[in-house]
Every structure is written in structure tokens, then in C-alpha cells.
Amino acid sequence: MKIFDLKYDRPFRDEFQALCESIFDEGFLTNHKLVSEFEEQFAKFQNVKYSLAVSNGTSALELGLGILNVKNKEVLIPVNTFIATYLAVKKAGGIPVLCDIEPGYFSISAKEIEKKVTKNTAAIIVVHIGGHISPEVKLVKKLCKQHNLQLFEDAAHAHGATLDKVTAGNWGAMAAFSHFMTKVMTMGEGGSITFNDQEAFEKGRSLRQFGMSPENSILHEHEGGNFKITEFQAALGLLELKRINKRILKRQVLAKRYFENLKGTNWNVITDTDGSKGSYYKQIIIPPVSREIVSQQLSRAGIPLTGGVYDFPLHQQPVVYNSLKDRDFPIASSFCAGHICPPCFPELELEDIDKVCQVLVSIEK
Ligand SMILES: Cc1ncc(COP(=O)(O)O)c(C=O)c1O
């Protein structure tokens, strides 16, 4: 079994080739018609008003933080996230403040926010870990209102995910998505930032292209960057959007199989509860034995573990560790050391999940 196994059928390949032909015919290779079409379609898919296509999920975060103007301001982020969340805050000139997580869906903890918010806090980033929107976001939203803070969703894992039928991208001021190769949909590299506010969207469009004035392309109004994507990436993105619902549904079906197979055992399979419907970018399981033992046993059966979310939280990362005074994040430390993410991607079949579960249950005995 592979860690991931992207497959493209003949009709997909033919459509992609036809779109590539149309790009060559048009003779305009970047940030053009297909990019606009992709942005419209992606906004529709996430049920938001606007989206911008950008070079990757990291630049979506950096661009969003630029719109929020967090320079010299504190941005509260969960300690359990990919390094990109932290780096984006630094690149945008902000001060990342690490917070512990809640134990349900491993998202930033509202209690921690209450402890760490100061007069210099500008924003909070909520990361939808593994593709689940945690009900905790409702408490976080309340706190944002109370303290006049901006809420930014790191939805890198959460294409199509909902909580109380509200889609990722509708919980805060904006949301950043990653379309990296292993994600729920991919353009090889790529990302999107989504908005419901027109002014933020327009500032984002300018920041994406060197801070260019919308009226005059040789005048620059903001300190922007180059976060654009090519027409070829947009072509891939458009085709991915045609199959994304089917692929998310398959992930959910596979995840349900993990849950059903391991029900009644002491393997804790994280599943949809409290109105959350996940994308299942990752199937998270808390095993009754150490990750090393699980990994060894699965590996003997030819089954790989995929990367955790995350194996090492930010405060254990060499690039972050020395800058911290407070390294006490008990919930994240315990979760990060003690969970696994077995394979769960749409190219797998139910029998594959059964095979993984058989090995897992045999470890329990
Ligand atoms: C939570 C999170 N945020 C941001 C990113 C960055 O996305 P990208 O790799 O597209 O830059 C990732 C990517 O893995 C991620 O997992």
C-alpha cells in the first residue's frame, strides 16, 4: 500500500490536454481566463463570495495576514499545526503566540486564547486539523467578537468540510486552502484564499500581484508580492473541482469503515460528532499502544503510516524552540506523540481499510 496514490483516468487526462491546447491557442500562460474561472468555481464550491488562486497554502496565509495587517501585532495560533502557519505569521511581520489545543478535534483551545490574548493581539488562526471543523470554533468566534479580533481559518485540510452545515471559509474573515499534491484536491502546488468581504478580496488581489493599483498597473499601492498561478495549474484545478465531491465522499466512506471496524475496541477513531462533517484529509486514530509499535507492525504487513497532524508540535520544532519562554502545551504534546494517521485517500477500497484494521486489532491482542 502507498502513502498516497493519485490516479487520473483517461477522460481526465484528455480534458486536461484539451485545456492545455486552449491555453497555447490563447497564448496567455498565467493569471488569465482559466484562473478567473477556477476562482469563481472554487468560491462556489466553498459557498463563499470570492476566492483568489495563489501559489500555495503558505502564500494564502501570508497574503491573508497581509490584508489583516498584523505587522508587530500578536497572532494566536495553535501549537499543533504545520510550520507554514507559524512561518506565514513571521513573514507577514506578526508575532506568533502559541496556544494549546482542545482534545476533541485538536483545534486551538478557547480557554488558552482567553489566557493569552493581550491588547496587542490582532488575529487568531484556527486550523481545521485533518479536515474537521471543531465546534470549538464557535467559542473562538465569540471571543474574537468580544476582543475585536480577526478570525482567520487555516483550511489547508478542509475543502468541503462543514460544521452545522456551514462550510469552511464562512467562520472567519477569510480562509486559506492548500492544493498541494497530497491534499483533498490538488494542482501540484497551489492554494486559494476565500472571502465574503469585497474590500478584503480586492486588497488581496492587489497584494497577490506586487501591490498593484487596480486602476493603473504601473502604480503600486501596497507592499505586495508575487503569489500568482499559471493557467496550467488552473486547468488542473478546474478538473479537480469536477471530481471533488465524489472524492470527498469516498474519503468519508473509508473513514466510516475505520470507525465501524474498530468500534468496541480501544482504538479511538476520530469521527464526525457535534455537527461536524470532515473532509477526512487525514483519518486520525489514537492507538492503545505506542506509535512506534503500530508503525513497525503495519510496516511488516506492507502498510505505511502517513504523516501525523502533527508528529512534532511547533514548540518541539528546532526553528521555534529557542524563541519560546513558555513550552507547556500538555494536550498538544500528548496528542502529537500518541496518534496515528493510517492511509485514507480516495484511490483505496474498503478491503484496504479492512486489511489495515486487521493488523491494528491484532496488535491489541
Ligand atoms: C495546516 C497547514 N497549513 C498550511 C499549509 C501550507 O500549504 P502549502 O504546502 O500548500 O504551502 C499546510 C500544508 O501542508 C498545512 O498542512
Query: Has residue 293 got a pLDDT over 80?
Result: yes
Burial 294-331 (b: 16+ CB within 10 A, else e): beeebeeeebebbebbbeebbbbeeebeeeeeeeebeb
Cβ of 262 below 6 Å from ligand 1 = no
In the chain, the amino acid numbered 70 is V
DSSP state of 190: -
DSSP H helical ranges for 47-165: 57-68, 83-91, 110-116, 136-147
| Buried/exposed 121-131: b ≥16 CB within 10 Å, e otherwise | bbbbbbbbbbb
Could you report the per-residue pLDDT of 213-249, keeping only the tens digit for each?
Answer: 999 999 999 999 999 999 999 999 999 999 999 999 9
pTM for the model stands at: 0.98
Average pLDDT value over all residues in the chain = 97
Burial class of residue 344 (count of CB atoms within 10 Å of its CB; 0-12, 13-18, 19+):
buried
Amino acid residing at 355:
K
Percentage above 70 pLDDT, the chain? 99
Residue 290 has pLDDT above 80, yes or no: yes
Instruction: Give the model's pLDDT for residue 60.
Output: 98
Task: Answer whether residue 354 shows pLDDT above 80.
Answer: yes
Amino acid letter at 89? V
Ligand 1 centroid from CA 85, angstroms: 7
How many other C-beta atoms can be found within 10 angstroms of the C-beta atom of residue 30? 14
Partnered with residue 76 across adjacent β-strands are 97, 124
- Cβ of 156 below 6 Å from ligand 1: yes
For 10-239, CATH number?
Answer: 3.40.640.10
Give the alpha-carbon dihedral of 153, 154, 155, 156, to 10 degrees: 170
Rounded to whole angstroms, the Cα distance separating 231 from 129 reads: 30
Q: Which helix (H) or strand (E) holds 12?
A: helix 10-26
**CA–centroid distance, residue 82 to ligand 1 (Å):** 6
Instruction: Measure the CA–CA gap between 54 and 31, rounded to whole angstroms.
Output: 10
Pairing of strands 74-78, 121-127: parallel
Confidence (pLDDT) at 364: 65
pLDDT digits (tens, 9 = 90+) for 45-76: 999 999 999 999 999 999 999 999 999 999 99
Other Cβ atoms less than 10 A from the Cβ of 265: the count is: 14
Query: By C-alpha distance, which of 65, 144, 79, 134 is closest to 332?
Result: 79
Does the beta carbon of 56 sit less than 6 angstroms from any atom of ligand 1? yes
Are 279 and 108 spatial neighbours (Cβ–Cβ below 8 Å)? Answer: no
| Closest CA to ligand 1's atom 8 | 57
Residue 3 has pLDDT above 80, yes or no: yes
Point out the ligand 1 atom lying closest to the alpha carbon of residue 191: 10
Whether 10-239 and 244-364 share one fold: the answer is no
54: DSSP letter: E
Distance in angstroms (rounded) separating the CA atoms of residues 238 and 207: 23
What pLDDT is attached to residue 365? Answer: 58
- Given phi > 0 = left and psi -120 to 50 = alpha, else beta, which region is 155? alpha
Q: Do 137 and 285 form a contact (C-beta atoms < 8 A)?
A: no
Q: Please, which pLDDT band fits residue 326 given cuts at 50, 70 and 90? A: confident
The answer to whether 333 touches 104, Cβ cutoff 8 Å, is no
CA nearest to 193, candidates 206, 205, 180, 181: 205
29 phi and psi angles, rounded to 5 deg = -95, -15
Q: Which atom of ligand 1 is nearest to the CA of 58?
A: 11
C-alpha–C-alpha distance, residues 168 and 37, integer Å:
20
Give, in order, the Cα–Cα distances in Å from 241 to each of 153, 245, 281, 356.
21, 8, 16, 29
Query: At 2, is the pLDDT very low, low, confident or very high (cuts 50, 70, 90)?
Result: very high
Q: According to the model, what pLDDT value does residue 291 have?
A: 96
Q: Is 81 in the pocket of ligand 1 (CB under 6 A)?
A: yes
Q: Where are the domains of the chain?
A: 10-239, 244-364
The atom number, within ligand 1, closest to the CA of 183 reads 14
* Domain 244-364: which CATH number of 3.40.50.970, 3.90.1150.10, 3.40.50.2300, 3.40.50.720: 3.90.1150.10
Distance from residue 326's CA to the centre of ligand 1 (Å): 25
Handedness of CA 226, 175, 314, 339 (dihedral sign): negative
C-alpha cell at 187: 494542482
DSSP letter at 82 equals -
Q: How far is the CA of 84 from the centre of ligand 1 (A)?
A: 6
**Whole-number percent of the chain with pLDDT over 90:** 99
Supply the pLDDT for residue 245: 98
**Predicted pLDDT at 115:** 97
The pairing of beta strand 191-195 with beta strand 50-54: antiparallel
